[in-house]
A and B are shown apart, each in its own frame.
Chain A
Amino acid sequence: MTQTTTTPKPTSSAIPANPLVRFLRATEIDTRLLGMVGALILIWIGFHLYGELVNGNGAFLTPRNLWNLSVQTASIGIMACGMVLVIVTRHIDLSVGSVLGFCAMIMGVLQVWVLPDYLGLGNPLIWIITAICGMALGSLIGAFHGWLIAYRKIPAFIVTLGGLLVWRGAAFLVARGETISPVDSTFALMGGGPYGSVGAVGSWIVGLLACAGIVWMILSGRRQRIRFDFPLRPVWAEWFLGIVGCGLVIGSVLLVNAYPWPKGIVAQYAQAQGIEVPEAGLFISHGFAYPVLILVIVGIAMTVLMTRTRFGRYVLAIGGNPDAAELAGIDTRWMTVKIFALMGFLTGLSAVVASARLNSATNSLGTLDELYVIAAAVIGGTSLSGGVGTIYGAIIGALVMQSLKTGMVLIGFDAAMQDIVVGVVLVLAVYADILYRSRTK
Chain B
Amino acid sequence: MELTGAEILVRFLKDEGVRHVFGYPGGAVLHIYDALYKQDKVEHILVRHEQGATHAADGYARATGKPGVALVTSGPGATNAVTGIATAYMDSVPMVVITGQVPTNLIGNDAFQEVDSVGITRPCVKHNFLVKRVEDLAITLKRAFYIATTGRPGPVVVDVPKDITAAKTDYVFPRKVEMRSYKPVTKGHIGQIKRAVKLMLSAERPMIYTGGGVVLGGGSQLLTEMTRLLGFPITNTLMGLGAYPGTDKQFLGMLGMHGTYEANMAMHHCDVLIAIGARFDDRVTGNIEKFCSKAKIIHVDIDPSSISKNVRVDIPIVGTVEQVLRDMLRILKEKKGGPDKAAIKAWWKQIEEWRKTDCLKYETSPEVIKPQFVLENLYKVTRGNAYVTSDVGQHQMWAAQFYKFSKPYRWINSGGLGTMGFGLPAAMGVQIAHPRSTVACVTGEGSIQMCIQELATCLQYGLPIKIITLNNRFLGMVRQWQEFFYEGRYAMSYMESLPDFVKLAESYGHVGMRIEDPADVAPALKEAMAMKKRLVFMDFVTDQTENVYPMIPAGAGLNEMILV
Q: Do these two chains interact? A: no
